[in-house]
Structures are given as C-alpha cells and as structure tokens.
Amino acid sequence: MAKSTSRQLEARGKNRSFTYEHRSQLGAGAVLAAVLILFIIGSPQTFLSSKIYLAFMSTLPFSAIMALALTLVVISGEMDLSFPAIMGFCGFVFTMVFHASQSFIIALLVSLLVGLGAGALNGLLIVGLGLPSLVTTIGTQFFWAGLTQVLSGGLGKTLVPTKGSFLFNLLVGRVGGKFPMQTLWAVIIGVIIWFVLNRHRLGAHIYFVGDNPHSARVMGVNVERVKLIVFTQMGLFSAFAGILASLEVLYFWPTLGQGYLLKTIAAVFLGGTPVEGGIGTVFGTFIGAVVIGMLEAGIIAMGMTGFWTQLIYGLIIVVSIALHSAIRRRE
C-alpha cells in the first residue's frame, strides 16, 4: 500500500514538473486550440476544408521563420525592429542580381550574404558602440526600407523566369502538387534553432546573457560575441524569408516586408518569450506564429472586417505579456 501511494505521488510530481517546465508551450497550444475551435464554429465551411490550411502553409512560413530567429534575439535580452526592412532589401537584391546574372544560385548567395551583413551591422552598432538595440534597429529599419525605395525607384520586378528551376521548386515548390516547400523550410529552421538553444553551448550562453549579462561575464561567457551572433542570424533568416516571399508570388514588390513587424513580434510574445529575456522556446514561438497567421483569415471568414485584425494583434501582445509576467511573479 505504501509503495502504491509512493508511486502515485511520484507520478503526480512528474506531471506537475512537466506542466511547469512546458507551461509556455502549453499556454500557446491552448490559445491555438481555442482560436481554432472558435473559427470552426464561426465559419465551419471554411475551417473544415483542407484548402484553407494549405493556404496557411504557403504564407505562414515567412513570418514564422523570422519569429523563430527573433526569439533568439529576445531571449538574449535585446530587440530587433529592422528585420522587415532587411527582408525587403534582400528581396530586392535577389531580384536585381538574378536579372543581371541570370543565375539563381548567385542571386541566392548574394542576397543571403547581404542579409548576413545587415544583421552583423546591427550587432556591431549595438555591441561595438553600446547603443540600445531598440533605437538602433528603428534607425536601420528606416535606412534599409529607404534604400530599397531609392534603388528600386518604387517599382517592382518580375521573377517569373525563376519558375520551374530546380532551386525554385526546392524553395517554394509543391510536394505532390499541394504541400508547400516553404513550410518544410520553416520546420527545418525551427529544428536547427531548437537544437542550438537546447543542445548546444551557444544556446545556454544566449539564455545566460538574457537572464543576467553581468553574471554571464563572470561565468566566462563572451556576451558581446553572443549578441553579435543573434543579430547576424536575424539578418540571415530575414533575407531568406524575403527570398521565399518574393518567389512565392513570382514578383518583387518594394513594399515587401511591410506588415510583418507586428505579426512577428506578436508570435514571439504569444509563444511565451518575455521582453526581459532569459526565457523562451522554439515550439511556443512556432505555435504563436500559427495563431497570428490564422487570425486575419479567420476574422474575415467569420464575417468581420479586416480592421479588427490589428486590434486583436494588439490585444494578444498585451494580454500575453501580462499573463506571462503574472506567472513569473507567482514563481
């Protein structure tokens, strides 16, 4: 009898431990389930059809990829607001280099290198000059967005010649004629970032820096290098998202990237990564990106106007921050 009671208590302890350790992911999953049930009830003809989910899989990955990268930045205790402009500028670079060289691979590599450089520039300004990341990336956001408009003359350009090539199909093709490749890329990037955060020394350093940079230095962590890395990878993945988004519609628009800022940040916060840093999960952010990506289509499908979308985005950010802050205060 005593052994049975001991086993029951041990099982309860494990269940509580699991719930405690995964509270952010479970919270984001609960929000996803609630939103999905609401949309199914409000518009069953839309949300009981597979077509809407295939549509989601063709558009959600762009913001999901940037949200996953932004999670590393926020965990480190910093913020980046320049990624939508880097996304747009790198989409422009990819388009121009492709038309100039007629080489998909050259355009891809140059665009990714430019994104890498733009992210590294943010890191150098913040780490090297000691500038606050919020203000610095507001400045670089305006810089890259303005540079895109100046160099493009406000005009778009077609990417139809890329269609049908091996790399086009590899990046945004359809597996079996239906499943979008960009969704697979978002999952691959999510797995890589999860591995870095949970199975690599760099991930532990990112958490340490976000939790307490002074203690991290005492422990021998190179805080400046860690911050430089997280901003650099943010630029790289923003460039990749810009390339995917341009190829998906087979056209570059100078406004590429606009509209992604609020959605991406909302996905990170909804996923349980607090603005203070030191905490965050890849799975939570991924679920947050799915929820945010579903909102606009769900709101319109239920007969509401699109004006409600930004209002609800704002509410989600405020409520998620308040809930996670309340949980941390209780702890």
Q: Give the Cα separation of 182 and 195 in Å (integer).
A: 20
Cβ contacts of 277 within 8 Å, gap of 6 or more: 74, 75, 76, 77, 78, 209, 210, 211
Give a yes or no: residue 251 inside a domain. yes
Query: How confident is the model at residue 9, as a pLDDT?
Result: 42
**Sign of the dihedral through C-alpha 34, 39, 42, 46:** negative
Which stretches in the chain have pLDDT values below 70?
Answer: 1-24, 306, 324-325, 327-331
Give a yes or no: residue 318 inside a domain. yes
Split into its structural domains, the chain has a count of 1
Give a yes or no: residue 2 inside a domain. no
Query: How confident is the model at residue 274, as a pLDDT?
Result: 84
Query: How confident is the model at residue 277, as a pLDDT?
Result: 85
Identify residue 54 by its one-letter amino acid code: L
Name the percent of the chain in helix, strand, coil, to the closest 5.
80, 0, 20
Give a yes or no: residue 159 inside a domain. yes
CATH number, position 79:
1.10.3470
Query: How confident is the model at residue 21, as a pLDDT?
Result: 64
Give a yes or no: residue 3 inside a domain. no
Give a yes or no: residue 165 inside a domain. yes
Q: Which domain holds residue 106?
A: 28-330
Whose CA is closest to 281, among 184, 166, 203, 188?
Answer: 203
Query: How confident is the model at residue 241, as a pLDDT?
Result: 97
Give a yes or no: residue 229 inside a domain. yes
Query: How confident is the model at residue 313, as a pLDDT?
Result: 72
Q: Give the Cα separation of 258 and 145 in Å (integer).
A: 9
Give a yes or no: residue 12 inside a domain. no
Q: Give the Cα separation of 287 and 32 in Å (integer).
A: 7
